Amino acid sequence: MIRVENLTKKYAGGEAVRGISFSVEKGEVVGFLGPNGAGKSTTMRILTGFLPATDGQIEVAGAKLPEESLLVRQRIGYMPENVPLYPEMRVEEFLEYRGRLKRVARKDITERVGLVLDQCGLSDVRKKIIATLSKGFRQRVGLADALIHNPPLLILDEPTAGLDPHQIRSFRELIKDLGRDRTILLSTHILSEVEMVCGRAIIINRGKIEASDTLANLAKRVQSGALQIEVKADPVGAREKLAKLSEVGGVVELNRVGEWVSFEVTALPGKDIRGEVDGLIKRENWPLRDFRREKARLEDVFVELTQE
């Protein structure tokens, strides 16, 4: 659905995108992740035919950019970072207008508008003036606009920016739903969003791609390695013994409840300390009631890949 080779974008102030290559296959929901200023919006504007690249080969929805930018715009639904709405229009009226612009057949327009109003949870506000809507509803109108011509590919630039947690949740559900029969590329700097809706993430930093992989594989890259255990033992002695293990980097006592004490045991880089810790617990005959490894979080991967 999207194929990008060596995409570069230079602004007067410098290079915002530095020769990136990636692709998105049909049916995928991909998170485009990066800190502010990484180059997400620039890339998306180029992919949607609204901004020319400085260099690179780009194919979106079967059409080449920049030559076929009109075709690209017809085949994709784009929700830009700052959704440009017509504040004085009514929701329904706006969507009809946008549908006509995007060449939805006259006979289909009423049906399409009804469908996207319903899909985006806007039926109750269809007669309202856009300017009077809350931010969450305005974002929905932006999404409805992106969907009006029923495109097979959606490119959404920080669609949940500025929403409150309730709005984010319902928006996320909506995107999940849409992803069932569409290809979606969605940018965000909110990691939980990617964890909940995306199968794969592309991490971009300072105009370069740092990683592109499934979430499970990304998590494997950072050894969170921290282990939480709770044993019945002398806290001071147990702490010392754990700390002496050859692959253990650190031990922190977390909590004491009666005779039980819990520790967070961290591994030296790249080590899996489960065997060693388990061996010690068995040798010492410590009663054990908790033993778990913390999952590496996408946040850890992100921070590791994008830190200064």
Ligand X SMILES: Nc1ncnc2c1ncn2[C@@H]1O[C@H](COP(=O)(O)OP(=O)(O)O)[C@@H](O)[C@H]1O
Of 78-86, 99-107, 144-152, 283-291, the segment contacting Mg ion by CB under 5 A is: 78-86
Q: How many helices (H) and strands (E) does the chain have?
A: 11, 14
| Cis peptide, bond prior to residue 66, ω within 30 of zero | yes
Contact 287, 257 (CB under 8 A): no
Residue 17: CB minimum distance to Mg ion, A = 12
**Nearest residue to Mg ion on Cβ basis:** 41
Residue 188: CB minimum distance to ligand X, A = 10
Residue 38: CB minimum distance to ligand X, A = 4
Instruction: Indicate which of ligand X, Mg ion, none lies near residue 36 (CB less than 5 to 8 Å, by partner kind).
Output: ligand X
Measured from the CB atom, the residue of 42 and 266 that comes closer to ligand X is: 42
* Strand ranges of the sheet holding 227-232, from the earlier edge strand across to the other edge: 248-257, 260-267, 227-232, 288-293
Q: How many CB atoms sit inside 10 A of residue 288's CB?
A: 15
Measured from the CB atom, the residue of 11 and 177 that comes closer to ligand X is: 11
Measured from the CB atom, the residue of 34 and 99 that comes closer to ligand X is: 34
Measured from the CB atom, the residue of 189 and 232 that comes closer to ligand X is: 189
Instruction: Indicate which of ligand X, Mg ion, none lies near residue 50 (CB less than 5 to 8 Å, by partner kind).
Output: none
Instruction: Indicate which of ligand X, Mg ion, none lies near residue 69 (CB less than 5 to 8 Å, by partner kind).
Output: none
For ligand X, the binding residues (CB under 6 A) are 11-13, 16, 34, 36-42
Q: What 3-state DSSP class applies to 234?
A: coil
Measured from the CB atom, the residue of 16 and 85 that comes closer to ligand X is: 16
Contact 264, 227 (CB under 8 A): yes
Total number of residues shown for the chain: 308
Of 21-29, 76-84, 238-246, 257-265, the segment contacting Mg ion by CB under 5 A is: 76-84
Which residues contact residue 185 at a Cβ distance below 8 angstroms, ignoring those fewer than 6 apart? Answer: 2, 24, 30, 32, 44, 47, 153, 154, 155, 156
Measured from the CB atom, the residue of 40 and 200 that comes closer to Mg ion is: 40
> Look-up: residue for tokens 């011509």?
149
Measured from the CB atom, the residue of 4 and 229 that comes closer to ligand X is: 4
Q: How many CB atoms sit inside 10 A of residue 302's CB?
A: 23
Residues pairing with 58 in the sheet: 4, 65
Residue 39: CB minimum distance to ligand X, A = 4
Residue 265: CB minimum distance to ligand X, A = 37
Residue 230: CB minimum distance to ligand X, A = 42
Which residues contact residue 49 at a Cβ distance below 8 angstroms, ignoring those fewer than 6 apart? Answer: 60, 65, 66, 69, 70, 72, 73
What x/- string results for residues 26 through 55 when contact with Mg ion is judged by CB under 5 A? --------------xx--------------
Residue 83: CB minimum distance to ligand X, A = 15
Measured from the CB atom, the residue of 36 and 246 that comes closer to ligand X is: 36
Strand ranges inside the chain, DSSP E: 2-11, 14-24, 29-33, 55-60, 63-65, 76-79, 153-157, 183-188, 200-205, 208-214, 227-232, 248-257, 260-267, 288-293
Dihedrals phi, psi of 11, to nearest 5 degrees:
-100, 175
Determine, following the binding rule CB under 5 A, whether residue 160 of this chain makes contact with Mg ion.
no
227-232 and 200-205 as β-strands: parallel, antiparallel, unpaired? unpaired
Determine, following the binding rule CB under 5 A, whether residue 205 of this chain makes contact with Mg ion.
no
Residue 190: CB minimum distance to ligand X, A = 13
User: What are the residues binding Mg ion (CB under 5 A)?
Assistant: 40-41, 81
